Amino acid sequence: MQEIKKLISDQLVQIIKDKFGLELAENCLPAAGVELSYPVFASQGDLTWPVFGLAKKMAKSPVELATLVAGAWTSLPIVAEVKADGPYVNFYLSSNRLALDLFADFDRSIENIGQGKKIMIEFANVNTHKEFHIGHLRNVAFGQAVSGMLSGIGYQALPVSYVNDFGIHTAKTIWQLVKEPITDKSSVNRGYILGQAYVAAVAAIGDDEQAKKEVGSIMTEIEARQGESYQIWQETRQWSIDYFQSIYELLKIKFTNYYYESDLIDRGRKLVEDLLAKGILTESQGAVIADLADEDLGVLVILRQDGTALYPVADLALAMEKFASANLDKSLYVVDKRQALYFKQLFAVLKRMGYEAPMLHLAYDFVTLPSGMMSSRSGNTVLFSDLYQECYKSLELETRARHADWSAEKISQVASQLSVATLKFEMIKVSADKIITFDIKEALRFEGYTAAYLQYSSARINSVLAKAGEWLIATEELTFTESAEKSLLMGLAKYPELLAEAASKYEPAILAQYLFEVAQLFNDFYQNCPILSAESKLKQSRLALIGHTQRVLSAGLAVLGIEVVSEM
């Protein structure tokens, strides 16, 4: 659609120049030419140009200007008709020509905006020895979708995970395990067991000063990398890593690299010494800080007065490692909005260290339940494993009821794919700056703004194409006469620019909403336009149309990290 807009825009610019002279036109027209938009009402055509702004600059009547431009329009194959409607110039596109352009080369229509530039997207910043809950699900679904969208428009996207495996939370969990050892170490749910031990530890330690000292001693052993506590840490750390990896495999999330705090902390301490010597960091009352008051960012504490490290120690070393290993053009951090100030401070320190490449914090809001907020400290949370199982059981029953002839293996596979699609879609269909109130009953509906609705639309297309037998996306002249056909064609034509917009704004919800609208347009078309029973040429045209619809739905969902189910 961007190419079509440019063709029309270029001709409009030429008309203005011809009618009013080059000097006046160039002084009044924006450098980008004429900006076309999509009209609110179908009666206003497929594209429209409101002339208010230009008319004001040229001291002309908007209505007269629109009438003059429409009257001066010359032929353009893609444009079937041009009409002036008050201060608007409306363009009605040729359905057949639009379809030919759309179907000719799907990949060519996707603009290569990234041009191979490297962008690293850090997400899945999980803590070992804790649970993986619904809040983490939003993080990984959002991060994967951003990575996919950037790849979709030509960037070399590098998704990475940074694992906090060295914090005080690990010592608390080990303190609890010493009190109540795990007797069955063969359990496949060892990662879950660790999470439960952490919750129990937080409750048991409370304000108990003796318990806090014991936890401190455990942490000292871990940091010194010696002693029994360190051995327990090594073993249980791997349990957590295996647990997280099993979830990523289920969610079909892959990373180009994993970074661990334990590998970075010593390098970070050495870096702090260097930054102190250079005056980038300073000592204050026994602590090491970055004084960022001149940037209105306050003070970032790097080392506490007792010498223990805070998050920036490893994060600074991590940033250096990222840029050194990958020669990045941009670095993105997917972390919830509570860390907004911290990342501003971190980036300010990095710039003082000489890192000028763009660094951006992609913040997102919380996930809540109808009953309220969640907290992994109190245990009042929804674990991913529990949530997945609840989705799976419901969708397995639904799939079994619809397909009694399917094998148990096929039913299980489809139920699993739908469960993952449902959970991911619920996490990305809402704008990042908005709170998600997760309602599993709504999420599992087959109607409305859900993954199941999109998947069902895709499966319906597959069913029709399978019944049609052999068919080709037509390259000869096509036949489209119905308004529902035109609406679907226009919807499909918007995919490249909606993908580009969503990627440039790092906002998967834009693409998710678009795909939902395409599914709605398809279902409206399906209800109003017979396909298999239509006469030959019309049948082939409509098969080509739904075939391209399937390409758009599949490509868009894949970009968002959602696997398409072939049958439902």
Q: What is the pLDDT of residues 100-138, one digit of tens each?
A: 888 877 777 788 899 999 999 999 999 999 889 899 999
Q: Does residue 386 fall inside a structural domain?
A: no
Give 378 or 154, the one with higher predicted confidence.
Answer: 154
End of a domain among 352, 368, 384?
A: 368
Average pLDDT over residues 149-153: 96
Q: Does residue 205 fall inside a structural domain?
A: yes
pLDDT tens sequence across 171-197 = 999 999 998 887 766 666 788 888 889
417 & 348 share domain: no
Confidence of residue 550 (pLDDT cuts 50, 70, 90): very high
Say which CATH number the domain at 196 has: 3.40.50.620
Q: Does residue 352 fall inside a structural domain?
A: yes
Average pLDDT over residues 40-50: 87
pLDDT tens sequence across 426-454 = 999 999 999 999 888 899 999 999 999 99
549 & 429 share domain: yes
Say which CATH number the domain at 458 has: 1.10.730.10
Listed in sequence order, the DSSP H helices in 403-535 are: 408-428, 440-443, 451-468, 483-493, 495-504, 508-528
Q: Does residue 317 fall inside a structural domain?
A: yes
Confidence of residue 380 (pLDDT cuts 50, 70, 90): low
Q: What is the pLDDT of residue 307?
A: 83
Q: Structure pTM? A: 0.91
Q: What is the pLDDT of residue 43?
A: 80
Contacts of 380-386 with C-beta under 8 Å, sequence gap 24+, read: 381/131, 381/133, 381/134, 381/135, 382/133, 382/134, 382/438, 383/131, 383/132, 383/133, 383/134, 383/192, 383/195, 384/131, 384/132, 384/133, 384/134, 384/136, 384/137, 384/247, 385/132, 385/189, 385/192, 385/247
Distance CA 52, CA 36 (A): 13
Q: What is the pLDDT of residue 459?
A: 94
Give 44 or 137, the one with higher predicted confidence.
Answer: 137
Sheet of 359-362: strands edge to edge? 257-260, 156-163, 118-123, 330-334, 359-362
520 & 437 share domain: yes
pLDDT at 369 over 90: no
pLDDT at 529 over 70: yes
Say which CATH number the domain at 41 has: 3.30.1360.70
351 & 248 share domain: yes
321 & 173 share domain: yes
Q: What is the pLDDT of residue 471?
A: 63
Distance CA 415, CA 421 (A): 10
436-441-443-447 Cα dihedral, nearest 10 degrees: -130
Residues present in the chain in total: 568
Report helix, strand or coil for 260.
strand
200 & 136 share domain: yes
147 & 237 share domain: yes
Average pLDDT over residues 55-74: 90
Q: Does residue 147 fall inside a structural domain?
A: yes
123 & 61 share domain: no
338 & 442 share domain: no
> Got the DSSP string for 38-64?
--SSGGG-SEEEE-HHHHHHHT--HHH
317: burial class by Cβ within 10 Å (0-12, 13-18, 19+)? buried
pLDDT tens sequence across 309-341 = 889 999 999 999 999 888 899 999 999 999 999
354 & 426 share domain: no
Instruction: Of 32-41, 400-409, 509-518, 520-529, give the lowest mean pLDDT range.
Output: 32-41
Highest mean pLDDT among 106-120, 141-155, 294-308: 141-155
Q: What is the pLDDT of residue 368?
A: 85
pLDDT tens sequence across 13-24 = 888 888 888 888
Q: Does residue 292 fall inside a structural domain?
A: no
Report helix, strand or coil for 437.
strand
139 & 237 share domain: yes
Structural domain boundaries enclosing 543: 395-559
Highest mean pLDDT among 103-117, 154-168, 533-547: 154-168
Percent of the chain at pLDDT > 70 equals 96
457 & 495 share domain: yes
Percent of the chain at pLDDT > 90 equals 68
Number of domains in the chain: 3
Average pLDDT, the chain: 91
Q: Does residue 568 fall inside a structural domain?
A: no
CA 535 to chain centre: 42
Average pLDDT over residues 188-213: 88
Between helix 95-104 and helix 483-493 the angle, nearest 10°, is: 40
Q: Does residue 272 fall inside a structural domain?
A: no
Distance CA 353, CA 362 (A): 22
